Amino acid sequence: MMRILLVDDEVELADSLAQQLTREGYRVEVAYDGGRAWALLQQTGSLAEGNVSASPAYSAHRAGGTESFDLLILDWMLPEISGLSLCQRVRQADPTTPILFLTAKDTLDDRVEGLDAGADDYLVKPFALRELLARVRALLRRAGSPEGIPRLQMGDLELDRENQTAYRQGQMINLSQKEFRLLEYFMTHPGQLLTHDQIYEQVWAGEEPPSSNVLAAQVRLLRRRIRLPGSAELIHAVYGKGYRFGLVSPDTSHPLPAGRNGPVSETQERSSSYNKRNQE
């Protein structure tokens, strides 16, 4: 899931935008002034080693591989450090992370100055939410990361992210919002062990985390949606840990119930959940 840093000193606007972006499936960090934004950038891997001087704490934190931001949305007129200065600082160290200015400064000279400072796009307040979301999607696609690719594919399964529709062997599969977000999360992390907590955080972002039984039921429904006669199983349960997505079986270095050399079946998952409930 894409991680966005939103920086705006209008607290009500920033919080409202953060909620909208979260509903779209993004992870959003909010800063209300330039100083806090700069501190957050220094605490992550968002800044490559370059001309910007970094504090010892920042250098130590980078060694830990902290997750970076995929997009910055900056207001121009910020307390402590202006959005323009932030943009310039980031660009000295990181030439690639997309930056979108969201500001009331609306003259041609302002737009030119913002773009020349290193911004990739410029949107003037007031703005339409649909346009902002479209620009966010475009910037992420342009960045070339897997999260920004409009179509994902695994074997004969394709996911059209813009239309929230899946295709298997050329047959269209309509998905609910939750099914789409779950499949998208799986397909952007192929081969990785995704724990229950990771899935809750990404797919149920901003909501009350469901029980493990609800997650297992949602996975079963998704499996049935994308399954066709003769098609390979793509969603594999890793017993006691979570799920792995792909054309290969999950890691068999840890015990699996029943068929110990392969994926956990839906029947085995239901049985495991039932036994767990009886033991509690």
Predicted pLDDT at 213 = 87
Query: What tens-digit pLDDT sequence spans the chain (280 residues)?
Result: 688 999 999 999 999 999 999 888 888 999 999 999 999 998 875 554 433 333 333 333 333 345 688 899 999 999 999 999 999 999 888 878 899 999 999 899 999 999 999 999 999 999 999 899 888 988 887 765 455 556 788 889 999 887 788 999 889 998 888 899 899 999 988 888 999 988 988 888 767 778 878 999 999 999 999 999 888 899 999 988 999 998 864 444 333 333 333 333 344 444 444 444 444 3
The answer to whether the beta carbons of residues 106 and 124 sit under 8 Å apart is: yes
Taken in order of first residue, the domains within the chain and their CATH numbers are 3-147 (3.40.50.2300), 151-279 (1.10.10.10)
Predicted pLDDT at 167 = 93
CB atoms within 10 A of CB 205: 17
SS3 assignment, position 272 = helix
Predicted pLDDT at 14 = 94
